[in-house]
Amino acid sequence: MLAIMGAMDEEIELLLADLQDQETLQRPGVTLYRGVLDGLPVLLAKSGIGKVNAGVTAAFLLAAGATQVIFTGVAGGVHPELRVGDIVVSTDLVQHDVDVTALGYAVGTIPGEAPAWAADKQLQATALEAAREVEGVRALPGRVASGDQFIASREGVQRLWTQFGAACAEMEGAAVAQVCAKVDVPFVVIRSVSDTADHDANVDYRTFMPLVARHAKQVVRGMLARLGTTAQA
Ligand code: ADE
């Protein structure tokens, strides 16, 4: 079953409003919703903000039967060409706040783990196609950098760009990626740019959230239409 996650209410409420035959599955600290969206059985969940919340929620979704995971939400643009409203579809994900360099590991690498987690190619292609159908939206594939930090400075953006080649910064995706990769479940992260992670980021983020949340919903619906066709083929 397909699972759709977001970190905040705004990121999933539009999808939740359209979820048919809704059933709630209560888990410690997290509510999962099971139902039918555009004819497909799905699980839906709000994780809360940050990598731990995202990792825990992903684990509950997998235990509830998720076989593919889509994370949708907003991000700060890092790639210099990204503008508010653009969409990044994850090629791979890194945890930019991990630092075990004192023991000789590359910045971002957790000992015993891959330095980055690759998103599923098929889900990436489907997400890009669906995103490019949303009017007025530019969609790019790119690396998503996650960390328990809201990036709001030129230096912060510069670091993510030069150290990681990140396209955007957010706070959950790589945790979901790490959990899914452990059990070989395909995933993709779709992020709408709500700000450019600079000193105006906190203002832009609040202003543009409703618009980008609508875009995110349209991308997920576009993906469901395509995944539904594949499932029936
Ligand atoms: N989510 C949206 N904007 C962000 C930013 N600037 N940093 C981290 N997460 C974000």
With a Cβ cut-off of 6 Å, ligand 1 is lined by 74-76, 150-152, 169-171, 194-195, 197, 201, 205
User: How far is it, in rounded angstroms, from Cα 170 to Cα 74?
Assistant: 7
User: How far is it, in rounded angstroms, from Cα 102 to Cα 57?
Assistant: 31
107 beta partners: none
Please enumerate in sequence order all residues whose Cβ is within 8 A of that of 200, keeping only pairs 6 or more positions apart, or say none: none
76-95 pLDDT per residue, tens = 999 999 998 999 999 999 99
- Write down the pTM of the prediction: 0.95
142 beta partners: 90
132-159 pLDDT per residue, tens = 999 888 999 999 999 999 999 999 999 9
SS3 78: coil
Higher-pLDDT residue of 134 and 210 is: 134
Protein residue with its CA nearest to atom 4 in ligand 1: 76
User: How far is it, in rounded angstroms, from Cα 155 to Cα 158?
Assistant: 5
State the distance from the centre of ligand 1 to the C-alpha of 151, rounded, in angstroms: 6
